[in-house]
Amino acid sequence: MPKLQTLFLSLGSNLGNREENLNQAIQLIRQNIGTNLSISNIYETEPWGNLNQAGFLNLVLKIENFCFLPHEILEKIQKIENELGRVRVEKWGERCIDIDIIYFDELIIEDTRLVIPHPFIQERKFVLVPLADIAPDWIHPILQKTTLQMLEDCPDSGWIKVYEGL
């Protein structure tokens, strides 16, 4: 199995104890994917897509030095979501936890189960702002723009602020 270097995951929650949901997801990611993590600030954000729901807490993780292939990572994060009670009811709807693969090294994958890099990175401040905390100069392998360049061009007008906790 090849040793791949860098994975970025976006985590979000807007149901239940949002902060605890994120913490539990991080612990399960450490146990099941890798322990070498960089964690962005947590941000409180306006819902995206479906605005008729509670605000989210979002963060981005950078995981380095692990030994899984992209579809294995997808299976692992879906198992973590299920373990934490994720129920898929509607697209962009409320959820206790959402974990998306943003980048997997510089790989470009597009199949029926998985698209990497995530197709909406450049349109979502709730991904770009925390990503800029830990990877401001990471270059999108298709758009050939850094995180900061994408953030500057981002059309998302929703509010976002650093989460101060309870």
3-state secondary structure of 110: strand
Give ∠ CA 76-17-130 in degrees, rounded to 5.
Answer: 65
Q: Is 105 a catalytic residue?
A: no
Q: Is 88 a catalytic residue?
A: no
Contact (CB, 8 A) for 98 and 21? no
Query: How far apart are the C-alpha atoms of 124 and 128, rounded to whole Å?
Result: 6
Q: Looking at 18, 30, 86, 113, which residue is catalytic?
A: 86
- The two three-digit tokens of residue 29, written as one number: 């990611």
Q: Looking at 100, 133, 137, 156, which residue is catalytic?
A: 100
Q: Looking at 95, 111, 113, 133, which residue is catalytic?
A: 95
Query: How far apart are the C-alpha atoms of 106 and 51, rounded to whole Å?
Result: 32
Q: Looking at 30, 88, 98, 111, which residue is catalytic?
A: 98
Q: Is 98 a catalytic residue?
A: yes
Please, is 121 exposed, middle or buried when counting C-beta atoms within 10 Å of its C-beta (0-12, 13-18, 19+)? buried
Query: How far apart are the C-alpha atoms of 147 and 136, rounded to whole Å?
Result: 5
Q: Is 137 a catalytic residue?
A: no
Catalytic residues: 86, 95, 98, 100
